[in-house]
Structure formats: C-alpha cells, structure tokens
Amino acid sequence: MNFSDAIWLVVREAESSALGENNNETLDACNIVKEFIRYLPSDFENDDTPNKQRISEYSDFCNDPQKMSDFEKLSKREFLDSYSYLHELEYNLTRMKVRGLSNE
C-alpha cells in the first residue's frame, strides 16, 4: 500500500463512520482531504511513505527585511505566532546569527 492509498482508506473509513453518526463536520473534513489528495503530484502518490520526501534544512531569515523588522519589534512568541509557517529553529538560527554566535 502506498501513501495515497492509505489516505484514501482512512478517508473512506472516516466517511463511513460519519455517515452512520450523521456527523457533518467529519464529512466536510473528508471532502477537504479528498480535494487535497486529487492535487498531489503523481510522484508523491506513488511514494511508499511520506518519509521519502526530501525535507529542507532550516535556515535563518536574516536576508528578509520584513521578517527582520518584525524580529526586532516582536517577542519570540509574537513573532512565531505572526509567522506560523516558520519553525522555532529558524527563529533561533536567526537570533544566533544576529548575536554573532553562528558558525557562518
């Protein structure tokens, strides 16, 4: 079974259960997941597990003027809440570079 097949199986099981319980919220969630699956690249659908997808390394964002402006103004928590797509490690790498503690 590949990753795409596994997702479809889980969605069908959730849908079946939701129909029996008349759970519209779960049915809506199933529809969203089904739409997502339809847009997966074919090479991802044929993957055995998502672990085989390349994970990019985290890096600082010192070259991004907007983020750096907010970085100086906001607390760490406020910043990470504002940029929810950033990982805390990226924040920490930036803080280290700003303080001159990075190895670069």
The structure tokens 């990075």 sit at: 102
Helix (H) or strand (E) holding 24: helix 24-38
In a domain, 103, yes or no: no
How does pLDDT run across 47-60, given as a tens digit for each residue?
A: 545 554 445 688 89
What pLDDT shows up at residue 44? 59
Beta-strand (E) ranges in the chain? none
In a domain, 70, yes or no: yes
In a domain, 60, yes or no: no
In a domain, 55, yes or no: no
How does pLDDT run across 8-67, given as a tens digit for each residue?
A: 889 899 989 888 888 889 889 888 888 887 776 665 555 545 554 445 688 899 999 999
Q: Residues 41, 77: one domain?
A: no
What pLDDT shows up at residue 42? 63
- The Cα 75–Cα 91 span in angstroms is 11
Q: Residues 46, 74: one domain?
A: no
Domains of the chain: total: 2
Six token digits for residue 51: 């672990």
Q: Residues 42, 15: one domain?
A: yes
Range of the domain at 84: 65-98
In a domain, 69, yes or no: yes
CA distances in angstroms from 96 to 11, 57, 59, 69, listed in the order given: 43, 16, 11, 16
Q: Residues 35, 7: one domain?
A: yes
- The Cα 58–Cα 43 span in angstroms is 24
In a domain, 104, yes or no: no
Does residue 40 contact residue 50 with C-beta atoms inside 8 Å?
no
How does pLDDT run across 74-101, given as a tens digit for each residue?
A: 999 999 999 988 889 999 999 999 998 7
